[in-house]
Amino acid sequence: MAEMFKNFINGEWVTSKTGATFNDINPADKSEIVGVFPKSGAEDINMAVEAAASAFDKWRKTPAPARAEIIYKAEKLLRKKKDDIAKIATAEMGKILDETKGDVQEGIDTAFYMAGEGRRLFGDTTPSELKNKFCMSIRMPVGVVGLICPWNFPVAIPSWKIFPALICGNSVVLKPASDAPASSMELVQILQEAGMPKGVVNLVHGSGEEAGMALLNHPKVNLISFTGSAEVGKRIGEICGKNLKRCSLELGGKNAQIVMDDANIDLAVDGALWGAFGTTGQRCTATSRLIVHKGVLKEFTEKFVERAKKIRIGNGLSPDTDMGPVINESQLKKIHSYVEIGKKEGAKLLMGGYFYEEGECKKGFFYMPTIFADGHPSMRIAQEEIFGPVVLIMPVNSFEEAIEVINSTNYGLSSSVYTKDINRTFKAISDIQAGITYINSPTIGAETHLPFGGMKNSGNGHREAGKEVLNIFSEWKAVYIDYSKRLQKAQIDTAKEH
Ligand code: UN1
């Protein structure tokens, strides 16, 4: 019998009011149930939001350095449990153990960095235009925040949201993806163990349509932070907009790596393999286009395909696996349908393009690393996010054309350029429309103390991670203290003087 899990509301582990459940399945072996989770509804969300609303005032008044102490404890516990949580994450969402350990490490790094903010959370002081008047800006928490997370970074992404939310003094309702609920459960359990007061952090499992929608529509939720597809992001933004709920959206990408004719080709091949097939291509930062100068197209393509053929596909728990499964059946089908589209559009299939069902892999959702050549910006596979191990090689004649092609999608999350030319490097930094640009390194692998997010349809203008994330989870208050003992009028008094 698979273990039954619960929601965490007001400091207690509780079953859902709906009584319904869903199975958390191992995508490497669909007969394996990692756990059974509550399929929560509006009533459960309401209880969680009410608990968060009641806990908010006391938490916001707890000094930030004291809030930080709890986060430091959680960071230590995460570090201690890193290997165990990584195994759970691999079992429920498939990526290889080295990657899930990295995922937990990203959570640890974020906890450590954000706990440090407990003694910063800087505002500004600035001179007044009037005499005997003092001006400053300070951060205020937003209130109850609803966090809706994806499955592909089941520890890192909830951590990116939960630690900054807490250090800023907000209370939280977390709705993890139903494809990876166990990792979030571990994270919340750690926060409980670290001494988080009851009601400050609440966890509600369930589907996006039911639990997610209830969270989104709840009048006492002041902010929604969502990571997922642009399609869902637009719907969320619309609902939040109607109620003037604060809303931060971190959405998809159609990320590309440019390979110039002066690049170190072996290094560019290493980067492309990791960018396109790491995490089975299931990252919002994954490389799905390779924009290659014609001068090195043949050499790059041959080396890339040769190396991609050596990728060992299998269960992420096995040390011999390089690439794990795709998350679920509908995603597997979606990837394959894009491969069919690519073929019809005239892209040349160099390898892959089919379900991988060798040996044990027939038990799960596996897809071959797939490489298309002869890509053109007019193709759908050059424009739409596939979220799987599929990459399109797009030949170009010049650096200028490469920049045009890289900017030819509606997305603008991550980008990469392989070149040794300093002038091209700086031109790329200035002209690529993306929130992240890597030089001589692949499109994936952001560090937690730099801002993360994208331009165009990759988001709605916010940045997670770095110190910039604090602007999502706090609002600014401008403070003016007049010690002149008389009425002073900004602008009106100064207008007379100038
Ligand atoms: C995502 O897929 O939503 O830089 C985020 C990276 C990861 C984050 C991916 N740290 O690729």
Give 325's Cβ-side CA count (13 Å radius).
Answer: 31
> Which of 229, 285, 413, 458, when mutated, tests ligand 1's pocket best, judged by the most ligand atoms within 8 Å of its CB?
285
pLDDT-derived band at 36, boundaries 50, 70, 90: very high
**Which atom of ligand 1 lies nearest, measured to the CA of 284?**
2
Neighbouring CB atoms inside 10 A of 226's CB total: 28
Identify the CA nearest to 78 among candidates 227, 188, 152.
Answer: 188
Q: Region 217-221: what's the mean pLDDT?
A: 98
Helix (H) / strand (E) element for 255: namely strand 255-259
Q: Which residue has the tokens 């989770």?
A: 37
Query: What pLDDT, on a 0 to 100 scale, did the predictor assign at position 495?
Result: 86
Query: What pLDDT, on a 0 to 100 scale, did the predictor assign at position 175?
Result: 98
**Which atom of ligand 1 lies nearest, measured to the CA of 150?**
3
Q: Exposure of 125 by Cβ count < 10 A (0-12 exposed, 13-18 middle, 19+ buried)? A: exposed
pLDDT-derived band at 494, boundaries 50, 70, 90: confident
Pocket of ligand 1 (CB under 6 A): 106, 152-153, 227, 283-285, 444-446
**Residue 367 has what DSSP assignment?**
B
Q: Is the dihedral of CA 78, 84, 88, 89 positive or negative?
A: positive
C-alpha–C-alpha distance, residues 476 and 3, integer Å:
44
Q: Which residue has the tokens 């690529």?
A: 432
pLDDT tens for 405-457 read 999 999 999 999 999 999 999 999 999 999 999 999 999 999 999 999 999 99
Q: Is the dihedral of CA 191, 180, 27, 452 positive or negative?
A: negative
The tokens of 47 are what?
């209880």
pLDDT tens for 61-89 read 999 999 999 999 999 999 999 999 999 99
**Buried residues in 293-303 as b, exposed as e (16+ CB within 10 A):** beebbebbbeb
**Which atom of ligand 1 lies nearest, measured to the CA of 446?**
4
Mean pLDDT of the chain: 97
For 193, residues 6+ apart whose C-beta sits below 8 A from its C-beta are 73, 74, 77
Q: Catalytic: 250?
A: yes
Q: How far apart are the first and last CA of the chain?
A: 80
> Which of 287, 386, 444, when mutated, tests ligand 1's pocket best, judged by the most ligand atoms within 8 Å of its CB?
444
CA of 125 to the centre of ligand 1 (A): 35
Q: List, in sequence order, every residue forming a beta bridge with 36; answer none if it has no partner.
A: 4, 23
pLDDT tens for 356-396 read 999 999 999 999 999 999 999 999 999 999 999 999 999 99
Phi/psi for 481 (5° steps) reads -120, 115
